[in-house]
Amino acid sequence: MIHKRRVARARRIEFQRTLLSHLEDLQAEAKFESSLAAAVTKSDDRRLRERCFSGPHLNAWRAPLASRLAQIQAAFERDALRAVRPPPPELLRQLRAARREKVENKTRERARQASGEVLEATRRRARLGFPAHVLARWTPEVRRANLLARRSVGEVGYVGQVKRALGYGVSLEEENDQVDETTRERLDRLAEEMRRSNQSRRDRE
């Protein structure tokens, strides 16, 4: 909301400058027309004495521009009043709730990405890169490591190792698999069975 109001204010300032420029052009045109009409005589062409911008026509040209400028000025005054008026408590509560919800949403989003789910944020992260003049100074290995660290949300395994080497501040404690003893034993048995199966297959070959 605040960002949109700032953008709208910038647009109003630009539009105000355009209208003031139109008023200056209109005033200059009216002045030129008045001087031209005063210079001609009765024997000159009647069309040179006819006025389109000056005289009684000037106010008709200026009225819509002045009306729009008055609306813009009123909007600026409302902005000034909002700036000095304290925000209502209900709005503050809504802002705090929105901030908490944003943090919670981002936390859930990172957890889903870390679990392997591909989201729109994952695609945006995969497109992140570095400026060309920075990439030109890096070797292919350094470039690959930096791109991997920037585009990946994981902090364990090879990605965690690369991030720690680059100084990302990834804790070693996060590499713990955090599984109970029963699950660990079952995984060890599966790994042993797979190893034996692969070994027997190689022996037959």
Dihedral in degrees, nearest 10, Cα atoms 123, 126, 131, 137: -170
Least confident of 13-17, 91-95, 196-200: 196-200
Query: Is residue 110 over pLDDT 50?
Result: yes
Q: For the segment 33-61, what is each residue's pLDDT rounded down to a tens digit? A: 888 777 765 545 555 566 777 778 888 88
Q: What percent of the chain has pLDDT over 70?
A: 88
Mean pLDDT of 77-93: 89
Residues 6+ apart with CB under 8 A from 153: 110, 113, 114, 122, 125
pLDDT of residue 90: 92
Q: In b/e form, how buried is each residue of 76-111, taking b as 16+ CB within 10 angstroms?
A: eeeeeeeeeeeeeeeeeeeeeeeeeeeeeeeeebee
Which of 65-69, 103-107, 182-186 is the least confident region? 182-186
Q: What distance, in Å, lies between the first and last C-alpha atoms of the chain? A: 70
The pLDDT assigned to 46 comes to: 59
